[in-house]
Amino acid sequence: MASVGALLMGVGATVTWITVGIPNETAHTAIRGTDLTDGVVVLLCAVVTLAAVFATRIVGSAGARQAASALAAIAGLVAGGLSGRARGPARCRRGPHDRALGSDRGPPIALT
């Protein structure tokens, strides 16, 4: 089960996460998961999970198997926490440059 989860994490980390513009147009931009920090962390979690699953198969002691299993579980929780953070409440995107321009620019844009 952990191997399937690691495979899904790895595939999910490498697909397109953000698309800006109209597809098949010259101004279209697609950002893959590995272009972002969260995507790289998810990909690393997938690698750690696969390594931990492999380690549970080759180590001899029960304690080492439990430690490798705990490592796989923690990596899965980290990846799941990143996805929960991305689905959390939208943050306002107003930076210091907006304050310098004054309040005539309207309300901040919330990402949904």
**DSSP calls for 21-54:** S-TTSTT-EEEEGGGSHHHHHHHHHHHHHHHHHH
pLDDT at 17 exceeding the cut of 60: yes
In a domain, 35, yes or no: yes
- Residue predicted with more confidence, 33 or 53: 53
Tokens representing 61 are 């002691």
Owning domain of residue 22:
2-105
Report the number of distinct structural domains present in the chain: 1
Residues 1, 56 contacting (CB under 8 angstroms): no
Q: Indicate whether this model's pTM tops 0.85.
A: no
Judge whether 49 lies within some domain. yes
Residue 111 belongs to a domain:
no
Are 9 and 42 within 8 A, CB to CB? yes
- Tell whether 112 is covered by a domain: no
CB of 45 closer than 8 Å to CB of 71: no
Whether 98 is covered by a domain: the verdict is yes
In a domain, 9, yes or no: yes
In a domain, 85, yes or no: yes
Q: Give the residue-averaged pLDDT of 85-90.
A: 58
What's the pLDDT tens digit per position in 40-83? 999 999 999 999 999 999 998 999 999 999 999 999 999 888 87
Residue 93 main-chain phi, psi, to 5 deg: -105, 70
In a domain, 41, yes or no: yes
Asked if the model's pLDDT at residue 88 lies above 80, the reply is: no
